[in-house]
Amino acid sequence: MKRISQPTVEPMSEEMNARRWQAVIDRDGALDGKFVFGVSSTGIFCRPSCPARRPRRENVTFFDHVLEAEQAGYRACLRCRPKALDGDPQSAQVRAICRYIEQHIEDRLTLALLATEFRRSPFHLQRMFKSALGISPKAYIDAVRLRQVKHHLQAGQSVTAALYDAGYGSSSRLYERTATQLGMTPEKYRRGAVAAVVRYTIASSPLGRMLIAATDKGICSIQFADSDEPLQQGLMREFPFATRRRDDAAMVEWRVNLTGMMEGSAANPSLPLDIRATAFQRRVWEALQRIPRGETRSYSAVAKKIGMPKATRAVARACAANPVAVAIPCHRVIREDGELGGYRWGLERKQRLLAMEKAGI
Ligand SMILES: [Zn+2]
């Protein structure tokens, strides 16, 4: 290990050193760039706001410039990177926060969570972020989400899928925001969007009217309702930027397969699905597809099955977001106490499906 030479003359006044030490204890980002401190026990030098554990005072030496610290034999800390920055140390951390937000956009991001992650008080983090970018972390999170939703919608993805990908909890929230945040009417926005073609059919099924919609890659939506109108409206809401074409003839085989599945005649027809899912939803939906016909599992059992025993509520949300009824058998997940729990297409339908499956029909 390189020997650390202690400066022979202490160039700073005691008062200045005391102020600097206080800044180190406070992790005061405002003094980043004004000085660095070397830690003799580790041989590393840091900026004042470094998130690493505070050293003992007697091991600390202050330097006005990075160069002096290096000349004294210290190496730059890899965490706070006192050398990386275009003169503005805070901006590096703000950039790191931005990257973190972008990489975790599917999660429930809060100021408190960011503060913990970056070891700052929520107040300090917010202030630093705002002074660097002019917007709050929350506004930045919203902007990233919106950008992602736009991107997915332009690619012809369904609204629900685009939403979940972008970390929005419920579709109603997107509808509230779309108009104001897209900054234009959906119609206008659509002109710039690639219009994917979604073909669909509506037919009778054991559960009432059934809509099947598909892209050229596979089935993207299976829904139930009492009449055709809500199905058509739902499809329009779900794929507002797609060209929707009714095509009963092209969907005959899938329709027969699906009703067969419900009635128990077709055991495992291979239905190509074209659905977008977050990594988490994919795990849940795959687990659902492994529940045998005629059986049910509780939400918590599914959570355990995917190795996330605490994620019961998230599992329930993933079930509720299932875009393809029956094909992904979210109806086979019920509450721990045997109650049916929820079903996107009505409890009566869930009950009827399960009864048909249990009776082995
Ligand atoms: Zn450091």
Spacing, Cα 102 to ligand 1 middle (Å): 24
DSSP H stretches of helix in the chain? 14-26, 66-71, 89-103, 111-117, 122-133, 137-154, 159-165, 171-182, 186-191, 228-238, 252-263, 279-289, 299-305, 312-320, 347-358
**Pick from 304, 239, 315, 254: nearest CA to 282:** 315
Cα 335 from Cα 315, distance rounded (Å): 11
Annotation marks residue 77 as catalytic? no
Q: Model confidence over 315-351: pLDDT tens digits?
A: 988 898 888 999 899 999 998 887 888 888 888 999 9
The predicted model scores a pTM of 0.52
Spacing, Cα 50 to ligand 1 middle (Å): 4
Spacing, Cα 51 to ligand 1 middle (Å): 7
Q: Pick the range with the lowest mean pLDDT from 246-250, 298-302, 313-317.
A: 313-317
Spacing, Cα 66 to ligand 1 middle (Å): 12
Spacing, Cα 40 to ligand 1 middle (Å): 13
Q: Is residue 6 pLDDT above 70, yes or no? A: no
Choosing from 46, 50, 220, 319, which is the catalytic residue?
Answer: 46
Average pLDDT, the chain: 80
Q: Model confidence over 30-88: pLDDT tens digits?
A: 788 888 999 999 999 999 988 888 999 999 999 988 888 888 889 988 888 887 654 55
Annotation marks residue 330 as catalytic? yes
The amino acid occupying position 139 is A
